[in-house]
Amino acid sequence: MTTQPGEQTHIVELLRSRRETALDRWTELAGAELRGRLSRGELRGELDDLLSLMLRALDGPDAEAAHDELTAALSEMSRRRARQAFTPTETAFGVFALKQVVYELVTESGSNRPRLTEELMAFSHTVDELGLLTFETYAATREQVISDQAEQLLELSTPVVKLWEGIVAVPLVGTLDSARTQVVMETLLQTLVDTGSLYAVIDITGVAAVDTEVAQHLMKTIKAARLMGAECVISGIRPQIAQTMVALGIEFGDIVSKASLADALEYLLARSGVRIVREEAG
Amino acid sequence: MTDAHEIRHEIRIATGDDIVRIRRAVRTVACAARMSLVDRTKLVTAASELARNVIGHGGGGTVRIERLISPSGVSGVRMVFEDAGPGIPDVRLALTDGWSTGQGLGLGLPGARRLVDEFDLQTVVGEGTRVTVTKWTR
Ligand SMILES: Nc1ncnc2c1ncn2[C@@H]1O[C@H](COP(=O)(O)OP(=O)(O)OP(=O)(O)O)[C@@H](O)[C@H]1O
Ligand SMILES: [Mg+2]
């Protein structure tokens, strides 16, 4: 921050002595359009924290530490706002509103100190920087929210599909965590029962990494399927995953693995006695 | 605020969601260090194993992920997993393939060691465990 502590003594004094008034007004201005996304009380609490930190950062024995805390608190607030569906402009405006508050306090006090204009300028500059900071954090957070949502979508969309009479497939996509792998595997076993299928393909072409836990889930499912009299084939183990699994020491034992879903289907069709013949044209 | 040029993440490890978050952070840093797809996958998988151990055996903790540049200019990624759990009484055993005090395959720790270039395990029974791993960009 370009502002030096002590530079804005009058403003700091005003904000300290008329703290409650300032907070009320700031809450009023910043909360003009909350539309239920945040209660007025919550907002006031947040602004109260910000104001304390700001006063310490402007004029306190621990100005530097307070400034770090202030930036952290603002980033945190901005992140929350992004998740509460505030626009970045609304969030930044909430911060900028403090300028209005201070301007009003100064006018009311009727002060005509010689360095007042400079102080106001410096203060306004400080607030601008803080407002812009919320903007930056907001953008970063939105990206995160979007990528989280994309991932969740992937997690929800793991259907078990029927490839052929008696053959089902489950294409696994995205990040496999334990909970999700378990759900997928349970769905697969249930589908084998429901459709009376004897064969299943677990395709992991879309999986980013296979660790010991995921491997263990896969193996347990395949064993369970065997107990039910069904056979599972794994397909789509990409080179980087194969190498990683070898380094980890994971062995799939006698489980059949095929390069692609198509290869796996061909293999299982043959196992189930279906022969594919290309008819000669003409 | 974090500086965009300095890549360094500190993530707490408590839930499965944290593991997803860690994997994503590791992938980002490994990309920035220009690691190959194979090495990226290895590093992400090692992170997954070590983070899972922190949750499952260490009662939760933290990880620090940072990009490194060696004095000779080689890029790399370092990850430090820390927990204040029970510690590991016999490190040699814990690093043996197939040895597990739980229901696991017992491949996480020794496997993670094989997936990285440098592996350091500090542990004190009753105090906690710190695993530091580094992988260099080839
Ligand atoms: N952070 C830790 N704190 C305490 N004990 C640990 C920690 N990490 C590993 N251990 C011990 O070392 C053993 C081996 O760990 P390893 O990751 O190889 O296997 P696992 O976690 O039991 O199974 P998995 O193959 O699923 O990872 C564990 O069973 C546990 O007893
Ligand atoms: Mg483990």
Q: Kindly identify which residue of chain B lies nearest to residue A134, measuring between CA atoms.
A: B1
Q: Cα angle at A71 between A65 and A73, to 5 degrees?
A: 100
According to the 3-state scheme, what is the secondary structure of A53-82? HHHHHHCCCCHHHHHHHHHHHHHHHHHHHH
Do the chains contact at A209 and B108, CB–CB below 8 Å? no
Q: In what order do the strands lie in the sheet with A161-164?
A: A161-164, A167-174, A199-207, A231-235, A256-258
Q: Nearest C-alpha to atom 30 of ligand 1 is from which residue?
A: B101
B58 lines ligand 1 (CB under 6 A): yes
Among B19, B63, B88, B114, which residue has the most ligand 1 atoms within 8 Å of its CB, making it the best to mutate? B88
- Domains in chain A, ordered, with CATH? 9-150 (1.10.490), 161-271 (3.30.750.24)
B18 lines ligand 1 (CB under 6 A): no
Chain centroid offset of residue A138 CA: 12
Task: Please report how the helices A116-156 and A40-58 are oriented relative to each other, as an axis angle in degrees rounded to 10.
Answer: 130
Q: How far apart are CA A143 and CA B137, in angstroms?
A: 27
Residue B48 has pLDDT above 90, yes or no: yes
Q: How far apart are CA B100 and CA B84, in angstroms?
A: 19
Specify the CATH number of the domain B4-136. Answer: 3.30.565.10
Q: Nearest C-alpha to atom 26 of ligand 1 is from which residue?
A: B104
* Nearest alpha carbon to residue B118 among B108, B131, B105: B131
B57 lines ligand 1 (CB under 6 A): yes
Q: Point out the residue among A151, A213, A249 whose CB comes nearest to the CB of B52.
A: A213
What helix, strand, coil percent values describe chain B, rounded to 5? 35, 30, 35
Closest ligand 1 atom to Cα of B111: 18
Q: What is the per-residue pLDDT for A7?
A: 67
B45 lines ligand 1 (CB under 6 A): no
Q: What is the per-residue pLDDT for B39?
A: 94
Residue B9 has pLDDT above 60, yes or no: yes
Q: How far, in Å, from the CA of A182 to the mean position of ligand 1?
A: 21
Identify whether the C-beta of residue A255 lies closer than 8 Å to the C-beta of residue A234: yes
Domain boundaries, chain B: 4-136
Pairing mode of beta strands A161-164, A167-174: antiparallel
Identify whether the C-beta of residue A168 lies closer than 8 Å to the C-beta of residue A161: yes
The DSSP letter of residue A205 is E
How do the pLDDT tens digits run along chain A, 282 residues long?
444 544 678 899 999 999 999 999 999 999 887 777 888 898 999 999 999 999 998 887 888 888 888 888 888 888 888 888 888 888 888 999 999 999 999 998 887 887 888 888 889 988 998 888 888 887 777 777 776 666 555 555 567 888 999 999 998 877 666 667 777 888 888 889 999 999 999 999 888 889 998 898 889 889 999 999 999 999 999 999 999 999 999 988 889 999 999 999 999 999 988 888 888 765
Number of other CB atoms surrounding residue A36 within 10 Å = 5
